């Protein structure tokens, strides 16, 4: 990444809410990616390469925003791994709270895309844990979308 972007990232990290357009949406996506990656005891660099590819597809016309999604995801995973005020349970609670406040974020949970992270897991326990997280996210997404559109009742 360019040096200018790194400097900008450090500045924006401190003042993200003020300077980044729709920062909440970007941070929500980063939390979803971080949740599935941090479930792995030893996440591989390939996880972040995949985030970069997915971010480039999501923000195809804004490479800086794609890079910011990658860096925000890395930041969250590092916080979880270093036990720096964040763990997986807190991350899950935060995601749930944000969906209650902004239900449209449920549309940003793309289970099929998230399944591609499963291919990077080598440990059976980790794989099982990640699958449970995906099931949880699918259920959370379904419930949130159901609550926001009551005409879809089964």
Q: Using CA atoms, how far apart are residues 53 and 22, in angstroms rounded to an integer?
A: 20
Q: State the alpha helices, DSSP H only, in the chain.
A: 3-14, 16-19, 23-38, 45-58, 63-81, 88-101, 111-114, 124-148
Percent of the chain with pLDDT over 90: 69
Render pLDDT for 122-153 as a digit per residue (tens, 0 to 9).
899 999 999 999 999 999 999 999 987 665 44
What is the reported pLDDT for 154? 40
Confidence of residue 113 (pLDDT cuts 50, 70, 90): very high
Over residues 96-100, the mean pLDDT reads: 95
Nearest-Å Rg of the Cα atoms of the chain is 16
Return the SS3 of 86.
coil
CB 88 within 8 A of CB 38: yes
pLDDT value for 10: 55
pLDDT tens per residue across span 17-30: 444 444 789 999 99
Q: What is the mean pLDDT of the chain?
A: 86
């Amino acid at each position: 990444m360019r040096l200018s972007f790194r400097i900008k990232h450090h500045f924006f990290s401190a003042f993200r809410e003020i300077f980044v357009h729709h920062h909440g949406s970007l941070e929500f996506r980063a939390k979803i990616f971080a949740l599935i990656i941090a479930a792995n005891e030893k996440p591989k660099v390939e996880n972040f390469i995949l985030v970069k590819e997915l971010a480039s597809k999501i923000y195809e016309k804004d490479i800086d925003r794609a890079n910011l999604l990658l860096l925000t995801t890395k930041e969250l995973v590092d916080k979880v791994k270093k036990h720096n005020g964040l763990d997986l349970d807190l991350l899950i609670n935060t995601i749930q709270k944000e969906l209650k406040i902004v239900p449209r974020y449920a549309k940003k949970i793309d289970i099929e895309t998230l399944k591609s992270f499963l291919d990077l897991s080598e440990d059976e326990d980790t794989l099982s844990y990640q699958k449970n997280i995906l099931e949880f996210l699918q259920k959370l997404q379904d419930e949130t979308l159901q609550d926001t559109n009551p005409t879809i009742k089964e």
